[in-house]
Amino acid sequence: MAKFNTIDDMELHGKVVLTRVDVNVPVENGQVTDTTRIDKIVPTVKDIQAAGGIPVLLAHFDRPKGQRVDSMSLRQIVPALEAALGQSVTFADDCIGGTAKRAVAALQPGDVALLENTRFHAGEEKNDATFAASMAALGGAYVNDAFSAAHRAHASTEALARLLPAGAGRLMEAELKALDAALGNPQRPVMAVVGGAKVSTKLDLLMNLVDKVDHLVIGGGMANTFLVAQGVEVGKSLAERDMADTARAILDKAKATGCQIHLPVDIVVAREFKAGAENQTLPVAECPEDAMILDAGPATVEALRQAMTACKTLIWNGPLGAFEIDPFDAATNAAAKSAADLTMAGALVSVAGGGDTVAALNKAGVAGDFTFISTAGGAFLEWMEGKVLPGVAALEAARR
């Protein structure tokens, strides 16, 4: 597991603590429409305050490309942040320079401040040392609580960690511990469920997982590509036929490493991609030429349930079918329910992440029953792919 300091390892009393958070939340007409990411940073802010530190929040919002864009100002999230924290929040119109210095200098113990969008400066995404030093001059310690931005080598996620005593916030700590439990040092056997539309977008992920897990379940449009690679006709289904050789290479690697690949044994097909479309459940090799596969069938789900029951750890990324529309969410819902039941019974450690995954598990009504749900998106995927995350590497360096 990555070795890093946490808030508990740091001397924060009397210090301004520059705290990198992810509050890149959806906003409509100046109002935050989903406060999930804001809610998740509250424990870190409160624990820094309890340790005698003064949290000064650093964050990006949208993609202003190094320019000041009023519609991308963090000022608009202040009301939602204040509601989540239950206190007023000082807002500074810049994250460096005189404006930021004056705002920080006026803070008292118990206060919290939010500085303006770090991406209003080109130095942020360039990981510029001078820009990072300007931010570092504002504080006496650094806490990174934005795992979702840890795959970016930006000034506020990487360079800053090398300029001040640094550690992980509570959300970052929880993410890293959950991922270590899922892939780093898991209880075996381990199952990974990987769904989604295209093999090409998850090639690195699949190649890494066949080295790491005992069972790899492939679902969604990706499964169709693997079926094509095995000579199965899939009609008008979404499939990357030009990736068939790659799919066969993954199957060969899995055989060599002892990883069992699970593909659909039965399918749900329809001739229209719409909610309530007339559909049939057929053996996997019997997809009509004019139909498309939109979900895995019940026999596939039962086989997955049995395999899952024999496992100790599950990592999930992506749905098994077109979960957005009924009734083609059935396989995803049923498999997710099985995972949730095993988790609640104490028989399975279950970790899930990725945008579609979180939406699918919420739709199935079981997200709260998984051991851990990551909201990190790209960082979660890159970790699963076995890549080094610059923001995490910087915290490891700080530990040394």
Question: Which of the following is catalytic: 66, 378, 386, 399?
Answer: 378
User: What residues does 267 pair with on adjacent strands?
Assistant: 282, 296
Is 37 a residue of the active site? yes
> What's phi and psi for 238, nearest 5 deg?
-60, 125
Question: Which of the following is catalytic: 15, 37, 152, 202?
Answer: 37
Question: Which of the following is catalytic: 68, 355, 363, 399?
Answer: 355
Question: Which of the following is catalytic: 46, 101, 126, 198?
Answer: 198
The helix, strand and coil proportions of the chain, stated in percent and rounded to the nearest 5, come to 45, 15, 40
Rounded CA-CA distance 346/111 in Å is: 41
Is 198 a residue of the active site? yes
Of 135, 35, 21, 41, which is closest to residue 77 (Cα–Cα)?
35
Sign of CA dihedral 129, 135, 138, 141: negative
Token representation of residue 256? 């060599």
Is 98 a residue of the active site? no
Taking CB atoms within 8 Å and a gap of at least 24, the contacts of 199-205 are 199/225, 199/226, 199/240, 199/243, 199/246, 199/247, 200/240, 200/243, 202/317, 202/318, 202/381, 203/246, 204/385, 204/386, 204/387, 205/317, 205/381, 205/384, 205/385
Judging by DSSP bridges, how do beta strands 372-374 and 260-262 pair with one another?
unpaired
363 CB burial (10 A radius; 0-12, 13-18, 19+)? middle
User: What residues does 12 pair with on adjacent strands?
Assistant: none
Is 221 a residue of the active site? no
Catalytic positions, written as ranges? 37, 198, 355, 378
